[in-house]
Amino acid sequence: MNNLEHASKQVSPTVLTEEIWKWVFAHLDAKPVELRLKHGNQEPFYSAISQVEARARYSKKFKDFIYSRWVFPVGIGLEQSSSVATAKIKQRLFRAPYSADLCGGLGMDSYFICERLSSKKHVVFERNLGLAQLLEHNLKASTVISSEFNFDDLDDWIKHENIHTNELEVYLDPDRRSNDRRSFSILEGAPNLVSIQGDLLTRCAKIIAKHSPMADFKEIKELLLNLSELHVIQFQGECKEVVTVQKKGYEGSVKTILIDAETQDELREQHTIPSLDVLTSLKTYIIQPSAGLNKSGLHPQFAQIHGWSKLIFGNLYTSEIQPPPSVFYKTFKVNEVFDSLKRAKLFGPAAIESIGSKFSSDELRKRFKLKEGREQKIFYLQNGKLKMIVTCQLIE
């Protein structure tokens, strides 16, 4: 099976009886491979072992659901789903009593959208029949439409529930697979947000859409109508999702917001343009923005707030004063600085990063025979002819 395809055989919720659920919870510590060798791939063990495997493989991603009777699918519906942490962040963007999810997938986002006290009714579209069957089981209070998104079915639901435009908010996480490859452009998603946004905004008050962490901000701002907010969601320093908010009739500036899904710390864009010193020499500390902070483009603003100077190398900053701990950056105390590899004296386990140079971190590791490490960090920095090898200590 191509890893971009749905599994040909899907989990069956009907075989997961009370007795089988007891078996699943009793075997959470078992190895799925050994369970399959012992019990085979026939039902009910195919579905039961799939539940054991999903809970083991994605224990952090779905930690709140490990001991629940949520039926997880196999295939990309599981792999590409929002995590519990990011779904909870997106839940905060919804206000209206009625909501629609145009591409349900595993249903984690729909679950948290419906968990709001203000939520009355919710509809979910899912074109894969196996996943739609699981959505009907997991989201019993929602209306599940086993079809790709279409306006006829949405309009029928709106009419049946007698929903006013201001009472409806729409969510979508478009399928970004194109010709057996992953696509990052918002022009290639299915359903195509760019194509349907105008018609959606005649039916709802707000569109909330999830995009690839690699999505192009310039493209998003050029192509999306009534764009009000651009959220970057990070988890443990990694950029996990880019989420856009479009509000019917909105004509103001786009606000960029960086949110950490684990701590719920956030940084909001200020519309003053920071003016920063750019240095070629180091101070006592190096500050390296997280992937989320880099993606948001808010690191100059963050640097201005803390009084950092920008280095000429990549998006690194430097300061004489040790910055306070933050989920949005790592701080390193400078130990030694060398101006060439010939003069460099590098020892011990270390994390290595090359910025601006064709000389890779792997080549450096081989040259100096350095083992992997975490507490010591070695930066190989280059901008034009200016080179710098810096040994640092991570400040926890």
Domain locations along the chain: 13-63, 84-268, 278-395
* CA-based nearest residue to 57, from 21, 38, 83: 83
- 68: closest CA among 25, 39, 36? 25
What pLDDT is attached to residue 178? 55
Label residue 218 exposed, middle or buried (CB < 10 Å: 0-12, 13-18, 19+). Answer: exposed
What Rg do the C-alpha atoms of the chain give, in angstroms?
A: 24
Q: What are phi and psi of 271, to 5 degrees?
A: -90, 25
Tokens representing 310 are 């920008």
Omega of the bond leading into 324 within 30 degrees of 0 (cis):
no
Which residues of the chain fall below pLDDT 50? 1-5
**pLDDT computed for residue 348 by the predictor:** 83
What per-residue confidence (pLDDT) applies to 181?
Answer: 60
Q: Give pLDDT, residue 1.
A: 35
DSSP, res 205: S
Per-residue model confidence as pLDDT tens digits over 313-344:
999 999 999 999 999 999 999 999 999 888 99
Alpha helices in the chain (DSSP H): 18-26, 32-39, 45-57, 76-79, 84-91, 108-114, 129-138, 151-161, 193-200, 217-223, 291-296, 299-306, 361-368
Give the model's pLDDT for residue 276: 82
pLDDT at position 280 is 95
Instruction: Say whether domain 84-268 belongs to CATH 3.30.300.180.
Output: no
Q: pLDDT by residue (tens digit) across 180-192?
A: 566 788 998 899 9
What does the pLDDT read at residue 255? 96
pLDDT score for 341: 87
3-state class of 130 per DSSP?
helix
Which residue(s) pair with 207 in the sheet?
A: 170, 246
Q: How many angstroms separate the CA atoms of 10 and 130, rounded?
A: 6
